[in-house]
Structure formats: structure tokens, C-alpha cells
């Protein structure tokens, strides 16, 4: 089809150029769907592990294209995600969104096939510059401001990556994108850069802030690429870094509390994304073959089932114009197909047996026990129960059941339903036949998810979690869906910082007046003192008698002789 050493991102960038120039919507739609299909087939049949391409730039050896089992897995994943996203957005006639989506997918592919840190940096920034248009494409004042905040944080991540890469090049003379580890300032900067895009605790607010403000179709693309590129980068450069075990556990646990009280259902899914990435980061931190397999397999599955949930909520937003749980409900009668597909996504993210989440999440949990991290295992067990509450139950319940919102609509266009159906089929297929996914993983561990211990443990967990939700609902203790905006760490820069600046501005003029008064008073005193001694009538300007002068000279001479004698 194409040359084996053709970088997979080239067809996407070429397609973006064609879509930018084409006037026909049909042509743009056809190109958008065909390129991921043809590119995926080329990657599957023509590209094998071990391919490398070298370039020299200013005495630096670069590797802009490198294939191995890990990069190929994410390459397959991103072609699938691009196809599903373009199929879901087939009805969209916005050229900006179409071009941005293709460039965004191409940048993600460029990052996972980069063999050096400089090439990674270029595509890292490409992810930021192209994805922001999927937020701005909503064309509202809120989305414009959100996009600005998003772009600032994403560019900051790139700056840290570049700074860390240059430090490593200074120390080692190499820009190779392989295992880095935490052994210097440069490596710490790179880990923070990866952590920003992954949504580390305290660095995650860009995700929950921006993804709910994207267009209904744009958010599907946003959920697929940026965070998963970061997971790939950490799996390649920081496997076995113990710190990541505890970072991942924190990521898996803290979003649960915010997701439960959140009203915007797409923001609930954004918190849920951080929760799921926590499992991946924890697996990378463990660093064993089983744990790394679990991390990348869960990244693969998360793109599909989280994309399915974002697509179902995007369909609700498009057909009703609403996305808050307090405004929705009882849509299962008028959107039955969307309801069913959403339930498949909910079962997958909740790790029901025979669904995709079960066959990947269980690997990370098993790896924790194998490496004797029992306390972390308990924390992740709590996180697994929590995700069933906020994503497995809350999303479909408040969107399609709960109270009757009075909204009467219909299922979305056929292309949106087809994209959701394709994702749902993959969720069930991977969950039922995990050997297909396991065959693509970097290591052959012989792991089997369907043993009695795993199945019974997960089934019991889901049963008791569902019972807790029902009991809390019946007792009126479950947090209600309220029309409100919830802020977490972002409160500091969205509320506290503007308030502090406003307070400073309010007292600025009085302080400025007081400062000027103090300075002018001090200058006046100094001037008066100088005039008193050096002015026309000052002490030093007077005419002194000769006798007085002789007296003072005598006193000074006596003091000098006395000091010399001593």
C-alpha cells in the first residue's frame, strides 16, 4: 500500500491539507473516514517492529520514526480512535473541526512513533496547538476562555519537556527517547511535563475544565489522544518508578468524590478519565511485565469505552441541548438505542466480566498483589467501586432514567449511532476474547483474567457497590444533582487569584498615595537639613573669625598628637 518506513502521521497531515482546501463536505467526510482505515491497514500488514529512521540536525542524531511492540499497539489504537471519531462527526460541516481533528490524530501518532526527545517535543506541542480548536469550535465566550487556559497549561508542559530534554542532552550527549528514570533535574522536568498531560493530582484541572467545553464531537477526540500519549510516554521512559504507584493510587481515588457531586455529566466523565488513568499510572509504577501489560491494555480499552460514554453524552447534548443531570432524565423512551449503547460503555468502564475493562484492570490489580502492595490494592479496590458509582450508574441513571425531565426527542443521526455501535461491539469482543488484545501487548505473561478469584471478587464488588447506591438513593443520602459549578484545585487560579488581584487593585491607589506622601516627606526633610548646613544661610556658609579657626585647628592637632602617642 505505502512504503513500510512511511511515518503513519504523514497521511493524516496530507488529509488535513486536502480537507482544508476541499469545498465539498462529502469529500472532506470521505477523506476523514478513509485515511484512518487505510492507515490502520498499512500499519497492520506492512509495518513490523524494529523499523528506525535516522536524521542528523546540528550534530544531534534524531530518530523521527521508530517501531516496536509498544508503539505499534498505540498506533493501532489511535487509528481506531480516529476512525470512530471521524465516523461520529460525519455530519459536522465545520471545516475547522475536521482539519483540527486530523492534525490532532496525526500529532498523537507522531509522538508515539518518535524515537528521540526533540521529535517527541515537536509533536507534543502539536497536540496542544491542534486540540485547542476543538474547544474553541464551540464558539462561545466560555469555551474561548477555557481554550485559553487549556492552551497555556499544555504549552507549559511542552516547555518543561524541552527544558528537561536539553538538560539530559547536556549530561549524556543523547536525545534518545528510551528509559529515563528519576536521576536528575532534567528527568524530573520531563516527568512533570508528562504528568500535566496525564492529569496528575493538582495538575489535572485543565482536563475537567476543558473537556466539558468542547463540541459534542470534539470532546470524543479530546478524550482519545492527549492523556494516552502521556501514558505511552511514561510507559516507555519511567517504568518501575515507585513514586508513580502512589501517584496513580491518588489519581484513582480523589476524583470519585468530585464526580459524585458533579452535575455536568461530561465533567463527571472527565473526572472518571483521571480515575482510569490512575490505574495505568499505578501499573507503570509497578513496572513488572504483568503491570505494564495491564497499564497499556487498560489505555487501549479506555479510549474505546470512555469514547463510547463521551459519544453517548455528546448525542444527548446534541439532541436535547442539555448535559446537566438535573435537567435530564427519562430519555430511555425516546433515545432507546443511545441508552443501550451507553449502558454497554458503563458496564465496560465498571469492569463487568465479559466487558473490556475487566480484562485489563484486573491485570493491574493482580500485579499489585504480586508485588506485595496490599494497602495500595485496597485503595484501588475502593477506586474500582467508586467508578461504578459515578460512571457505571450515575451517568446512565441520571441521563436516561431518574426523574421525568419532560424532554421528548429522538436518537441521534445514523453515523453517531454507528460509531457508538462499533465501539460497543469492540467493548464486548475484547471482554469476551481478550487473547486478541493480549497478543498485541509488549510481553507474553500467560495471564488469564477469567479465573474464579477474579470473577468472584469483581462480581461481589459490583454487587455491593450497586446495593450501596440503591440504599443511599432510597434514604435520600446520595448527593442530588444541583445546578451548580464545582471547583477543586482550579479554585486557586479561577477564584482566589482574581480576587487577590482585585483586592490589590482596590487598595492600590491609597497605598500609592501613602507611598508618595512618605517619600516626598522624607525628601523634604533631607532638603531642609542640607539647606541648614550648606544653604546661603547655613552653618557651613557663615564667615568664621580667625581666632575661632585657630582654636579648632589647635584642638584637632592635639587630638592627632594624642592618638599618635597612644
Handedness of CA 67, 69, 74, 79 (dihedral sign): positive
Burial bucket for residue 166 (CB in 10 Å: 0-12, 13-18, 19+): middle
- The set of cell numbers assigned to 138 is 464551540
Distance, CA of 430 to CA of 425 (rounded, Å): 8
3-12, 291-300, 472-481, 524-533, range with greatest mean pLDDT: 291-300
How do the domains of the chain map onto residue ranges? 239-445, 495-565
Distance, CA of 119 to CA of 464 (rounded, Å): 48
Give the confidence band of 406 by pLDDT, cuts at 50, 70, 90.
Answer: confident
Query: What pLDDT, on a 0 to 100 scale, did the predictor assign at position 565?
Result: 44
The values of phi and psi at residue 392, to 5°, are -75, -35
HSE on the CB side for 310, CA within 13 Å?
A: 31
Distance, CA of 171 to CA of 454 (rounded, Å): 46
Cα–Cα distances in angstroms (integers) from residue 411 to residues 152, 336, 558, in the given order:
37, 7, 110
Distance, CA of 245 to CA of 234 (rounded, Å): 12
For range 81-103, the mean pLDDT: 95
Distance, CA of 83 to CA of 507 (rounded, Å): 56
Give the confidence band of 481 by pLDDT, cuts at 50, 70, 90.
Answer: low
Residue 59 has pLDDT above 90, yes or no: no
Give the confidence band of 494 by pLDDT, cuts at 50, 70, 90.
Answer: low
Query: What pLDDT, on a 0 to 100 scale, did the predictor assign at position 552?
Result: 53
Least confident of 377-381, 389-393, 418-422: 389-393
Is the CB of residue 181 less than 8 Å from the CB of residue 251?
no
Is the CB of residue 397 less than 8 Å from the CB of residue 468?
no
For range 272-285, the mean pLDDT: 95
Both ends of the chain: CA-CA distance in Å? 104
Is the CB of residue 309 less than 8 Å from the CB of residue 395?
yes
Reduce the secondary structure of 495-537 to three states and give it as a string: HHHHHHHHHHHHHHHHHHHHHHHHHHHHHHHHHHHHHHHHCCC
Residue 1 has pLDDT above 80, yes or no: no
Mean pLDDT over all residues of the chain? 87
What percent of the chain is helix, strand and coil (3-state, nearest 5)?
Answer: 75, 5, 25
Helix (H/G/I), strand (E/B), else coil: 65: strand
pLDDT digits (tens, 9 = 90+) for 122-155: 999 999 999 999 999 998 898 999 999 999 999 9
Is the CB of residue 315 less than 8 Å from the CB of residue 216?
yes
Other CB atoms within 10 Å distance of the CB of residue 535: 13
| pTM for the predicted model, two decimal places | 0.86
Residue 493 has pLDDT above 60, yes or no: yes
pLDDT digits (tens, 9 = 90+) for 69-90: 999 999 999 999 999 999 999 9
Phi/psi-derived region of residue 545, left when phi > 0, alpha when psi is between -120 and 50, beta in every other case:
beta
Q: Report residue 473 CA to chain centroid gap.
A: 32
Burial bucket for residue 143 (CB in 10 Å: 0-12, 13-18, 19+): buried
Give the confidence band of 2 by pLDDT, cuts at 50, 70, 90.
Answer: low
Is the CB of residue 143 less than 8 Å from the CB of residue 204?
no
Enumerate residues 6+ apart whose C-beta is below 8 A from 237. 177, 178, 179, 180, 181, 190, 194
Burial bucket for residue 466 (CB in 10 Å: 0-12, 13-18, 19+): middle
Distance, CA of 181 to CA of 328 (rounded, Å): 47
Query: What pLDDT, on a 0 to 100 scale, did the predictor assign at position 407?
Result: 87
Cα–Cα distances in angstroms (integers) from residue 154 to residues 118, 125, 193, 368, in the given order:
17, 8, 9, 32
The values of phi and psi at residue 441, to 5°, are -75, 160
Amino acid at each position: 500500500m505505502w512504503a513500510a518506513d512511511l511515518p503513519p502521521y504523514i497521511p493524516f497531515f496530507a488529509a488535513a491539507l486536502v480537507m482544508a482546501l476541499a469545498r465539498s463536505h462529502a469529500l472532506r467526510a470521505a477523506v476523514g473516514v478513509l485515511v484512518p482505515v487505510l492507515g490502520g491497514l498499512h500499519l497492520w500488514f506492512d509495518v513490523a517492529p524494529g523499523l528506525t529512521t535516522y536524521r542528523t540536525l546540528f550534530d544531534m542524531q534524531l530518530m523521527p520514526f521508530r517501531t516496536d511492540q509498544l508503539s505499534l499497539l498505540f498506533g493501532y489504537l489511535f487509528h481506531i480512535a480516529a476512525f470512530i471519531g471521524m465516523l461520529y462527526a460525519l455530519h459536522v460541516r465545520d471545516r475547522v473541526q475536521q482539519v483540527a481533528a486530523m492534525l490532532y490524530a496525526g500529532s498523537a501518532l507522531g509522538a508515539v512513533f518518535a524515537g528521540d526527545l526533540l521529535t517527541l517535543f515537536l509533536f507534543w506541542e502539536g497536540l496542544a496547538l491542534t486540540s485547542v480548536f476543538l474547544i474553541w469550535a464551540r464558539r462561545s465566550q466560555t469555551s474561548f476562555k477555557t481554550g485559553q487556559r487549556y492552551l497555556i497549561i499544555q504549552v507549559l508542559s511542552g516547555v518543561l519537556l524541552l527544558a528537561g530534554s536539553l538538560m539530559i542532552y547536556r549530561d549524556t550527549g543523547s536525545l534518545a527517547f528510551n528509559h529515563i528514570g528519576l536521576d536528575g533535574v532534567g528527568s524530573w522536568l520531563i516527568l512533570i511535563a508528562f504528568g500535566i498531560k496525564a492529569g496528575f493530582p493538582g495538575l489535572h484541572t485543565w482536563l475537567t475544565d476543558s473537556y466539558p467545553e468542547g463540541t459534542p464531537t470534539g470532546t470524543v477526540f479530546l478524550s482519545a489522544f492527549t492523556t494516552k500519549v502521556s501514558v505511552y510516554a511514561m510507559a516507555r521512559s519511567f517504568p518501575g518508578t515507585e513514586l508513580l504507584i502512589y501517584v496513580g493510587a491518588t489519581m484513582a481515588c480523589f476524583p470519585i468524590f468530585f464526580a459524585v457531586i458533579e452535575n455536568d455529566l461530561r465533567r463527571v466523565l472527565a473526572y472518571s478519565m483521571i480515575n482510569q488513568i490512575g490505574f495505568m499510572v499505578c501499573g507503570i509504577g509497578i513496572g513488572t511485565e504483568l503491570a505494564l501489560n495491564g497499564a497499556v491494555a487498560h489505555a487501549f480499552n479506555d479510549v474505546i469505552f470512555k469514547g463510547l460514554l463521551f459519544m453517548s453524552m455528546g448525542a444527548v447534548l446534541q439532541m436535547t441541548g442539555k448535559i446537566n443531570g438535573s435537567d435530564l432524565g427519562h430519555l430511555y423512551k425516546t433515545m432507546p438505542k443511545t441508552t443501550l449503547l451507553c449502558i454497554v460503555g458503563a458496564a465496560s468502564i465498571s469492569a463487568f466480566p465479559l466487558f473490556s475493562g475487566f480484562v485489563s484492570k484486573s491485570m493491574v490489580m493482580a500485579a499489585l498483589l504480586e508485588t506485595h502492595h496490599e494497602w495500595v490494592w485496597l485503595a484501588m479496590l475502593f477506586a474500582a467501586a467508586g467508578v461504578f458509582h459515578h460512571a457505571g450508574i450515575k451517568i446512565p441513571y441520571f441521563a436516561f432514567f431518574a426523574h421525568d425531565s419532560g424532554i421528548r426527542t429522538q436518537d441521534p443521526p445514523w453515523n453517531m449511532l454507528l460509531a457508538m455501535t462499533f465501539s460497543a461491539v469492540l467493548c464486548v469482543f475484547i471482554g469476551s476474547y481478550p487473547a486478541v488484545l493480549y497478543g498485541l501487548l509488549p510481553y507474553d505473561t500467560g495471564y488469564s483474567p477469567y479465573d474464579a478469584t477474579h470473577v468472584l471478587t469483581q462480581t461481589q464488588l459490583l454487587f455491593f457497590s450497586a446495593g450501596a447506591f440503591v440504599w443511599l438513593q432510597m434514604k435520600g443520602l446520595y448527593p442530588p444533582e444541583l445546578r451548580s459549578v464545582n471547583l477543586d484545585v482550579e479554585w486557586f487560579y479561577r477564584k482566589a487569584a482574581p480576587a487577590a488581584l482585585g483586592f490589590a487593585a482596590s487598595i492600590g491607589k491609597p497605598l500609592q498615595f501613602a507611598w508618595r506622601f512618605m517619600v516626598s516627606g522624607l525628601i523634604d526633610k533631607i532638603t531642609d537639613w542640607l539647606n541648614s548646613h550648606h544653604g546661603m544661610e547655613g552653618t557651613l556658609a557663615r564667615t568664621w573669625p580667625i581666632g575661632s579657626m585657630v582654636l579648632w585647628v589647635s584642638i584637632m592637632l592635639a587630638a592627632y598628637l594624642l592618638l599618635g602617642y597612644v
